[in-house]
Amino acid sequence: MKVAAILGAILGFSALLISVVALTQSGGSASAEGGAATTGASTTLEVTLGDIFIAPQQLSAPTGNVILQVTNTGAIQHDITLDGGPGTPLLNPAEEATLDLGNVEAGTYTLYCTVPGHREAGMVTTLTVGGADEQASGHGTGAGRMLHNDESYMAGVLSYPAATEGLGGQPMQPVMDGDVKVYELTAAETQWEVEPGVFRDAMAYNGQIPGPEIRVQLGDRVRIVLHNELPESTAIHYHGLIVPNDQDGVPGLTQPLVAPGESYTYEFDVVNSGSHMYHSHMNGSVQIPMGLLGAFIVEDGTEPEVDQDITMILNDGPLGYTINGKGFPATAPLVARQGELIRIRYMNEGLQIHPMHLHGMPQLVIAKDGYPLPTPHYEDTVTVAPGERIDVLVDVTELGAWAFHCHILSHAEGPNGMFGMVTALIVSE
């Protein structure tokens, strides 16, 4: 059954026909309520970009030429673009730019940051041009904005789970060479559909984000052959695994760079169990957020018996805020029956902390970074820092569709509804 239908039944949604109201117009202008300097038919406004906001949140100006003086006060790159119109280039921290919007007619317009995830996180400002007698009827009013927000929110929920191209983290079966399990990984650039119709420049192992899931037994000997089809050098680090020094995957320290067109072979015995990861260790702040990452799980025969074993890789960066390579409404739901016991292996490959909150049921934390906890404990919000792996058990006791999301809300919900690090646990009888 389509999960959206399940959601509708559970939450009492009626069949809705949502027509999205166009609240933005092409053409555009801006004028700050405060800081506006008008000279004849030209208005100059000061706009500040931060982490993650645009100030002022409401701009106004008379009709005519509008110029923005833009300063990035944040710690990362931002820009500002008129919806359907011109924009600034990406601005580094403390960098300034002038954006001439040209001659702007009366109306209400939207400006936003185009960095993936930033608009959804709240980097949006509204421009009102002209006096009340010049405004297009209905545009820019509080009621109009509320209608747009409500329709956008409901459209996202009703489309969940939305279909997209590409499915990451698929189990990878080894090729046996005697007693050695052999895995081949090809790193290459790709276009990855993060949410419906939104394709991002990405890097992937074997065309998947996350890369194929490698699952082995304690004591196995593995061989991993990396083929580099990227336009830059790379390498693979086995995060959390205890390996010989020359297999640790750090160019210049334990191995040479794997240049474009080259291959490199890793081989080692698996000597510690648990939830681990593999990822690039070259230009890591770019290659990992762009998709060069995957799960490396080692079983030792002592794992708890569960009905489902689910890997949830968290990431942030050029692909936006993602769970297993997708952002809401394209994230995959967890579907379970009442009474099941499920295991979730959180793995944070991103640059930011992600506290993962499950509505309705507690999470029993049983392991951290691959090591069982001597005293498991319950949490409803499990904080996963960059590089950490946290294993939890969920006793599925409550019927219904339960929200499951990062509780840094700018990673999950904005004025237009839910996005990014949001999924759901769907529980049926």
Least confident of 80-89, 143-152, 213-222, 280-289: 143-152
Question: On the CB side of 297, how many CA atoms lie within 13 Å of its CA?
Answer: 24
By the 10 Å C-beta count (0-12 exposed, 13-18 middle, 19+ buried), 176 is classed as exposed
Residue bearing the bigger pLDDT, 82 or 8? 82
**Given pLDDT bands bounded at 50, 70 and 90, which one contains residue 145?**
low
**Rounded Cα gap, residues 250 and 130, in angstroms:** 59
The partner residues of 315 in beta bridges, in order of sequence, read 322
Q: Do residues 211 and 234 lie in contact, with contact meaning Cβ atoms separated by under 8 Å?
A: no
Gyration radius (Cα) of the chain, Å = 24
**Rounded Cα gap, residues 27 and 402, in angstroms:** 42
**Rounded Cα gap, residues 120 and 126, in angstroms:** 14
Least confident of 103-117, 205-219, 262-276, 325-339: 103-117
Residue bearing the bigger pLDDT, 9 or 173? 173
Length of the chain: 429
With CA atoms as reference, report the closest residue to 172 among 193, 192, 188, 186.
Answer: 186
pLDDT at 19 over 90: no
**Given pLDDT bands bounded at 50, 70 and 90, which one contains residue 218?**
very high
Same fold, 37-139 and 175-428: yes
Q: What is the DSSP letter of 377?
A: E
Handedness of CA 143, 25, 59, 154 (dihedral sign): positive
Question: On the CB side of 353, how many CA atoms lie within 13 Å of its CA?
Answer: 8
What is the reported pTM? 0.72
Span 317-365, pLDDT tens digits = 999 999 999 999 999 999 999 999 999 999 999 999 999 999 999 999 9
> Which amino acid is located at 208 in the chain?
Q
Least confident of 98-102, 122-126, 341-345: 122-126
| Cα distances (Å, whole numbers) of residue 174 to 6, 52, 179, 207 | 37, 44, 11, 17
175-428 has which fold? Immunoglobulin-like (2.60.40)
The whole-number pLDDT of residue 147 equals: 63
**Given pLDDT bands bounded at 50, 70 and 90, which one contains residue 106?**
confident
The whole-number pLDDT of residue 391 equals: 98
**Rounded Cα gap, residues 406 and 423, in angstroms:** 9
- Beta strand 334-337 with 422-428 is parallel
- What mean pLDDT is predicted for residues 260-266? 98
The whole-number pLDDT of residue 418 equals: 92
The partner residues of 145 in beta bridges, in order of sequence, read none
Q: DSSP 3-state assignment of 4?
A: helix
Rounded to the nearest angstrom, the gap between the alpha carbon of residue 219 and the centroid of all alpha carbons in its chain is 35
User: What is 296-336 written as a DSSP string?
Assistant: EEEE-S-PPP-SEEEEEEEE-STT-SEETTB-BTSSPPEEE
The whole-number pLDDT of residue 146 equals: 59
> Which amino acid is located at 420 in the chain?
G
Residue bearing the bigger pLDDT, 136 or 334? 334
By the 10 Å C-beta count (0-12 exposed, 13-18 middle, 19+ buried), 10 is classed as middle
**Rounded Cα gap, residues 121 and 263, in angstroms:** 40
The whole-number pLDDT of residue 276 equals: 98
- Edge to edge, the sheet with strand 400-406 lists 334-337, 422-428, 400-406, 354-358, 381-384
> 244: cis peptide before it, omega within 30°?
no
The whole-number pLDDT of residue 209 equals: 98
CATH superfamily of 37-139: Cupredoxins -  blue copper proteins (2.60.40.420)
The whole-number pLDDT of residue 237 equals: 98
Strand spans (E) along 206-271: 214-217, 221-228, 236-239, 263-269
Q: DSSP 3-state assignment of 107?
A: strand
Q: What tokens were used for 260?
A: 């474009």
With CA atoms as reference, report the closest residue to 224 among 203, 247, 240, 246.
Answer: 247
Tokens 């906001």 belong to residue: 53
List b or e across 289-327, with b for residues whose CB sees 16 or more CB atoms inside 10 angstroms.
bbbbbbbbbbeeeebeeeeeebbbbbbbbbbbbbbbbbb
Residue 17's contacts (CB-CB under 8 Å, 6 or more residues apart) are none
Phi-psi region of 288 (alpha: psi -120 to 50; beta: other; left: phi over 0): alpha
**Given pLDDT bands bounded at 50, 70 and 90, which one contains residue 196?**
very high
pLDDT above 90 covers what percent of the chain? 70
The whole-number pLDDT of residue 123 equals: 85
Q: What is the DSSP letter of 410?
A: G
Q: What tokens were used for 76?
A: 């990362």
List phi, psi (to 5°) of 279: -165, 170
Listed by start position, the domains of the chain span 37-139, 175-428
The whole-number pLDDT of residue 24 equals: 31
